[in-house]
Amino acid sequence: MFSYRHAFHAGNHADVLKHVVLIATLDHLLAKEAPLTVVDTHAGAGLYRLDGDYAGTSGEAAEGILKLLAPAPPVAFAKKVAEPEALAPAIARYLEVVGDFNPQGGARIYPGSPFIAQHLLRDQDKLKLFELHPTDSRTLSANIAQLEAGRQIAVLHEDGFSAATKFLPPPSRRALVLCDPSYEVKSDYARVLDFVAEAVKRFATGTYAVWYPIIPRPEAHDLPRRLKTLATKAGKSWLHATLTIKSSKIVTDAGGTTHRPGLPASGMFLINPPFTLKPLLQAALPQLARRLAQDRNATSSIDSGG
């Protein structure tokens, strides 16, 4: 437990997918004047230095946000596309938000979900942030304190799975709940399902967004299928988006050394997604797959129902 630190992964392809979806969803929900509550069950540290020690060790942002910001799309593995390709609106918007944290250009500072949400929220909205890791929770509290946002933002050093439903339904009966665990323990998959089932029972009209890794393990494979069943049984609409940047195959080279691919793909599953999300992702996901491709297995998918 707790070996996971998001700083190693900040700005990677999974964050790109998650945060493109988060921003597109928030933009829609914030178009209405009525107050919105955002609940982030697994918040992380909030803000990351991509030139800092943690990010530098794994360099995962190089496969994500930094690759997207590169001037020429790396097309070595991608299908040929007519150049120059205009950025899909959801990607352009994501880069605009990241750019707001980097007025001098580039992406030295990468905003995690708490800072993305805070950046977009209005005075009447609320943000509830859960983070259980002692160090990340302290860092998150310190980062949030600098905003002097007062009662608008609550940082809770509590288990997001069991405690976050206490904010549902919020007084305004409008909420986006992001559930983004690290899945470092196998039980996280079952806990996500239990959490979403309980949350939807308490507050059926909320918008729920779950991130999950696409890796060769049965629990990961089953999670979107089970979420789809849960949504369908509850009579709720759903949307499932995936982004793959490379093969998941473990390769052994001529010298007998085994190379594990790292995270090859991830998905976002939403219950009660905004109706505007699907067309935005239909334009954005194939472009993300092309721009972030590391081999010929790069692809994306989008499916919806309800």
Ligand X SMILES: C[S@@+](CC[C@H](N)C(=O)[O-])C[C@H]1O[C@@H](n2cnc3c(N)ncnc32)[C@H](O)[C@@H]1O
Q: How far is the CB of 258 from ligand X (least distance, A)?
A: 26
Q: Can you give the binding site for ligand X, defined by CB under 6 A?
A: 4, 6, 18, 40, 42-44, 112-113, 130-133, 136, 159-161, 180-182
Asked about 180 being catalytic, the answer comes back as yes
Contact 154, 163 (CB under 8 A): no
Q: How far is the CB of 265 from ligand X (least distance, A)?
A: 15
Q: Which is nearer to ligand X, 27 or 290 (CB)?
A: 27
Name the active-site residue from 15, 27, 40, 180: 180
Q: Which is nearer to ligand X, 160 or 224 (CB)?
A: 160
Q: How far is the CB of 286 from ligand X (least distance, A)?
A: 23
Give the dihedral of Cα atoms 149, 7, 94, 97; nearest 10 deg. Answer: 40
Q: Which residue of this chain has its Cβ atom nearest to ligand X in the complex?
A: 112
Q: Supply 300's token pair.
A: 């994306």
Q: Which is nearer to ligand X, 1 or 86 (CB)?
A: 1
Cα→Cα distances 110→38, 105, 127, Å: 20, 12, 19
Q: Is the dihedral of CA 26, 28, 32, 33 positive or negative?
A: positive
Contact 240, 228 (CB under 8 A): yes
Q: How far is the CB of 5 from ligand X (least distance, A)?
A: 7
Rounded to whole angstroms, how far apart are CA atoms 119 and 23?
10
Place of tokens 């050093």: 157
User: How many angstroms from the chain centroid is the CA of residue 286?
Assistant: 17
Rounded to whole angstroms, how far apart are CA atoms 54 and 40?
22
Nearest to 101 by CA among 69, 136, 63: 69
Q: How far is the CB of 179 from ligand X (least distance, A)?
A: 9
Which residues carry out catalysis?
A: 180
